[in-house]
């Protein structure tokens, strides 16, 4: 896929990819960048594999929740619709967080019922547009039935809420009200407790 960088705005650059905005076409382009420290053939295979996995998960997730629509792709690049809303991180407040966190819980329950593990559940990866929440950035995501993986997903979200939204009382509890729709809710709660105990033990 040939990109005309003159038409693109670089939104962010992480360890694995650059995220571009094509404002004229209202598109997001995720471009997995080569790593010079890796053997060329291995680097290409890894980038292809991760791009294919992300495409697969976006397609699967789109059947149950709101995600950006995939427009085009090649071995290393995914072109998606630009969800022009606000990051949940920036709009959560005392008036709306109870309702919104419950909705996030419903979204994650739907993901986990489909055995999708996001692996980067933060309010920075959730976009609020026209009262709908879109989940973005599936670059680390994978498919798994393991309760452990789902417990880790929740643990990461809980830590993110306690770090970024510590002023919003019981935000994670409101999330759990929605997450109860996950069919193995109690099993994940038990595993989450064990994950947290392991974390406390490590810090002693």
Residue 43: partners with Cβ closer than 8 Å, 6 or more residues away: 34, 35
Among the options 74, 84, 120, 149, which is catalytic?
Answer: 120
Question: In angstroms, what is the C-alpha Rg of the chain?
Answer: 18
- Paired residues of 9 in beta bridges: 21
* Strand order across the 132-135 sheet: 86-87, 126-129, 132-135
Strand partners of residue 1? none
**Distance (Å, whole) CA 86 – CA 94:** 17
Active site residue 137: no
Nearest to 23 by CA among 41, 40, 9: 9
Catalytically active residues are 120
């Amino acid at each position: 896929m040939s990109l005309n960088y003159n038409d693109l705005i670089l939104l962010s650059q992480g360890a694995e990819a650059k995220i571009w905005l094509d404002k004229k076409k209202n598109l997001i382009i995720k471009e997995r960048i080569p790593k010079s420290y890796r053997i060329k053939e291995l680097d290409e295979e890894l980038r292809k594999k991760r791009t294919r996995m992300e495409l697969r998960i976006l397609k699967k997730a789109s059947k149950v929740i709101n995600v950006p629509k995939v427009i085009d792709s090649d071995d290393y690049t995914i072109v998606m619709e630009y969800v022009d809303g606000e990051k949940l991180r920036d709009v959560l407040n005392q008036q709306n967080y109870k309702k919104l966190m419950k909705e996030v819980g419903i979204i994650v329950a739907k993901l986990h019922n489909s055995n999708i593990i996001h692996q980067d559940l933060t309010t920075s990866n959730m976009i609020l547009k026209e009262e709908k929440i879109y989940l973005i950035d599936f670059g680390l995501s994978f498919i798994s039935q393991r309760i452990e993986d789902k417990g880790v997903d929740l643990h990461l979200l809980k830590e993110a809420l306690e770090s970024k939204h510590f002023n919003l009382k019981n935000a994670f509890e409101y999330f759990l009200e929605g997450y109860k729709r996950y069919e193995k809710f109690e099993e994940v709660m038990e595993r989450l407790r064990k994950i947290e105990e392991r974390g406390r033990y490590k810090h002693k």
